[in-house]
Every structure is written in structure tokens, then in C-alpha cells.
Amino acid sequence: MERLVRGHACNIMISYINEPFPNASGKPHRHLTRPDLEAFFRAADGAVRTLNPDRVIKHIEGDYDPPSETLPDNHCYCGWYNGHGLELGKLHRGYWMPVNRDWLYACGEFGAEGSIRDLMRRRYPREWLPGAMNHPGHWCHPGAQTGNFHYMWFDTQRSLEEWVGRVNATSMATRLLPSGFAVTTEWPASQFICLLMPFRQLMKTIMDCERRPKPAYFAYRDALEP
């Protein structure tokens, strides 16, 4: 993998795993305990740096079983999972999750779902669209979290047009989070919105599968400009 990506100038950093939980909630990742996982990190570091001595490595994205030997990392989805990490209002006022003063740390992921109506009508299977299961407004896009989490932010909608409008309104969260990072007393060394481009069925992207920006793309761009 390092041989594949080392020639890409835009890629200076790699990470090995996303969101390891303590003992993987009773199901260790590939049967690795945390000490086993850290031993893998050390072995992987040796292999990577043999191929690319300049590679920046952050072992973990979203470490829910800290600490790691590299840059500590938090995820923050308080603009989608209500209250995840900390309250959205507190982040907007400059608070952050507990970190030691002067530590460099990252916010590896944040974001909210968004959608584009004409693409959905052209490309989605009919059974994915609202109303497909003979229930007005039913949302059954597999992998999307709008169906489960929209109750925290807005009422259930009754048409595709209404759903798209309300989901895209959550781009406000995409603006508030990096704006909150800018005023917090413990500013992160790096941040990463999840995601630029889609994979699987996830809608937490700021561009669609045809490389067209969603409203959240512009919200994120404008929030970063200062």
C-alpha cells in the first residue's frame, strides 16, 4: 500500500485503523488485543519507513481506547449524533473534549449527511426512495443514517424534495464545527471532514458520486477560509 501511495504529493499522512474500541466491544479486531494491535503498528511503521522514510504516520483515526504512541485523535459528530463528543453549543463557544494543554491532537472526523435530488432520482434504486414501502415519507436508503437520526434535528418529512431540503440544511453543522475549532483554546493540529467522496452507501459526503459539490462542500470551504 505504501508503494501505491508514496508517489502522490497530496498524501503526506497515513493511518492504520479507524475507531478501535476497548477490546473491540468484546470482539477484538482480527483477534488482536490492544497490546497486539500496538505491536502491529510498530511492525507496520518499520515496513512503511523502509519504503518511505518521510511518511507522516498517525496510527489511529478516532481512538476510543487511548492512548496511542502517535498524534491523539478525537472524532466529533455533535452536529449529527446529538451530543457526540460534546454539545454543539459548547463547541461553538470554544470548548473542546478534554486534552492536555499544549498537546498536538487531531479531530479525525466530523460531518453530516447531505444529498442531491436529481442524482437520487436518476441513480438510486426505486426501493431506496421515500415512499417505496407504501409508507408516506418512509426513508429506507441502506447505510444512510437520516432515517434513524433525523428525529434529533427535524420532523419526519413526507416527500423526496422535503427530505433533501432538510438533510442539506444540516450543512450548518459543517460550517459550525470548523468554526468552533478556530476559537477553541486547544486548537487541533489537523481536522478531517467525513467524507469528500462517497463510498458504499454513506451520505456523509460533501461531493456526490458524479463529483458535484453538495451544499456542505461550500459551507466547509467558506468556514475554512478565515
List, for residues 135-173, the tens digit of each pLDDT value: 556 677 777 788 888 888 888 888 888 888 888 887 788
Please provide the distance, in angstroms rounded to a whole number, between the alpha carbons at the two ends of the chain: 35
Name the burial class of residue 126, with classes exposed (0-12), middle (13-18) and buried (19+) by CB atoms within 10 angstroms of its CB.
exposed
Give residue 17's pLDDT: 92
Give residue 200's pLDDT: 64
Overall average pLDDT of the 25-34 stretch: 78
Give 86-144 pLDDT, tens digit per residue.
888 888 888 888 888 788 889 988 888 888 888 888 988 887 777 655 555 667 777 77
List b or e across 10-48, with b for residues whose CB sees 16 or more CB atoms inside 10 angstroms. eeeebbbbeebeeebeeeeeeebeeeebeebbeebbeeb
Give residue 132's pLDDT: 58
